[in-house]
Amino acid sequence: MPRNDPEGKKQSILRGAIFAYNKMGPGATAAQIAKEAGVAVGTPFRYFKTKEDLLYAAFVSVHEHAKECINHEVAWEKSVPEVIEQLVTNALFWAKDFPEEEEFTEKYIDLRYYDFYNREFGAFEAEVLGDRRIADRLGEQR
């Protein structure tokens, strides 16, 4: 990665956090994250104030990517069961194609931030699974 690519370096740090957390859990150190990212030990703190901020940013990044993958090329005009089938299929492909992201999400939620996840990201799940395009049509069928 070129030295003058701060966004690329930030993305490498986020990926490093995901891999380090998957290997070591919440005990992953900044040095281990930096090693996974291929950057100097202090570099993550140029982008994130704390390790917790970094892990949170990684979590948000993974969820944004999952949302993109899940909603990719969904034929919203089809029947509700067909749309739901496509969303579930896309979610399964995301988990298969990006196992490190799926593992990170599970570990991050289950181990340390379960309550935080429920409070902050319950709306995310409602947004993906309760997309207005689906919710409105479900209401029409009742």
Return the exposure string of 68-94: e unless at least 16 CB atoms fall within 10 Å of the residue's CB, then b: ebbbeebeeeeeeeebeebbeebbeeb
Pull the structure tokens for residue 18.
């995901």
35/17 Cα distance (integer angstroms): 10
Nearest Cα neighbor of 61 from 15, 100, 23 is 15
Q: pLDDT tens digit string along 112-124?
A: 555 555 555 555 6
d(Cα 58, Cα 79) in Å, to the nearest integer? Answer: 35
Q: The pTM is what?
A: 0.74
Q: What are phi and psi of 131, to 5 degrees?
A: -45, 135
**Tens of pLDDT, residues 73-102:** 999 999 999 999 999 999 999 999 999 999
Q: Are 38 and 32 in contact (CB under 8 A)?
A: no
The burial class, CB within 10 Å (0-12 / 13-18 / 19+), for 35 is middle
> What is the tens place of the pLDDT at every residue in 25-64?
888 999 999 999 999 999 999 999 999 999 999 999 999 9
